C-alpha cells in the first residue's frame, strides 16, 4: 500500500467495501471479450477518479483480471472500497461504467447466485478476496443485513466500535 493510500484509508472511521463477480462467456483473450478487455483501463481510471473512491484490488497489470478467486477460470472478481453507498452507486449507474454495465450480457453469463455484496469495514482495513467470497456466501444464506447488503437494502455504517 502506498503512503497516499494509507492516508486516504484513515480519513473516516468506516468505509464501504464491495465485491462483484461475473462469469465470462469466454476467456479474456477471446475476441468475444475484446471490447470489455480493451475498456478495462479506462473504466478503472473512471473509478479511481470518481468522488468517494478509496481503493481497489489490483495486480501489477493494473486490474484484477489476473486474480482467480474461484476454481472456474472464467469467473472474474472485483473488490473496491468507497466512502459511501451513494458515491459507489453514482459510479456504477451514472458514469461511463454504466454504459458497460447495461451491456454486460454481451460478455457475461447470468450468474447463478449472489454476485454483488457491500459491507462496512474499518478505515484501516483492506478487504481480501476470501472476505469478499464469505460476504457473498453470507448474503446468499441470510439476505441483506448489517453484515452485508445490496443496493436494494443498504445499511448505514456501524455506530459502535
Span 83-141, pLDDT tens digits: 999 999 999 999 888 888 888 999 999 988 899 999 999 999 999 999 999 999 999 99
Task: Answer whether 0.85 is exceeded by the pTM.
Answer: yes
C-alpha cell of 130? 476470501
> How is the chain split into domains, by residue range?
3-142
Domain 3-142: give its CATH code.
Answer: 3.30.70.100
pLDDT reported for residue 63: 84
26-70 pLDDT, tens digit per residue, is 999 999 999 999 999 999 999 999 999 999 999 888 888 889 899
pLDDT at 9 over 70: no
Determine the Cα–Cα distance for residues 85 and 155; give it in Å rounded to an integer.
9
Partners of 81 in beta bridges: 17, 55
Amino acid at each position: 500500500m502506498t503512503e497516499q493510500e494509507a492516508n486516504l484509508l484513515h480519513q473516516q472511521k468506516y468505509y464501504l467495501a464491495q465485491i462483484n463477480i461475473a462469469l465470462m462467456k469466454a476467456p479474456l483473450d477471446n475476441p468475444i471479450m475484446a471490447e470489455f478487455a480493451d475498456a478495462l483501463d479506462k473504466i478503472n481510471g473512471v473509478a479511481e477518479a470518481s468522488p468517494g473512491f478509496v481503493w481497489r484490488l489490483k495486480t501489477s497489470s493494473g486490474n484484477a483480471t489476473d486474480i482467480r478467486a474461484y476454481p472456474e477460470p472464467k469467473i472474474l472478481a472485483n473488490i473496491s472500497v468507497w466512502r459511501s453507498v451513494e458515491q459507489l452507486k453514482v459510479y456504477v449507474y451514472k458514469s461511463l461504467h454504466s454504459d458497460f454495465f447495461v451491456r454486460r450480457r454481451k460478455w457475461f453469463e447470468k450468474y447463478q447466485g449472489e454476485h454483488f455484496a457491500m459491507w462496512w469495514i474499518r478505515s484501516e482495513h483492506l478487504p481480501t478476496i476470501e472476505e469478499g467470497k464469505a460476504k457473498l456466501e453470507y448474503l446468499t444464506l441470510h439476505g441483506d443485513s448489517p453484515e452485508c447488503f445490496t443496493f436494494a437494502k443498504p445499511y448505514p455504517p456501524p455506530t459502535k466500535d
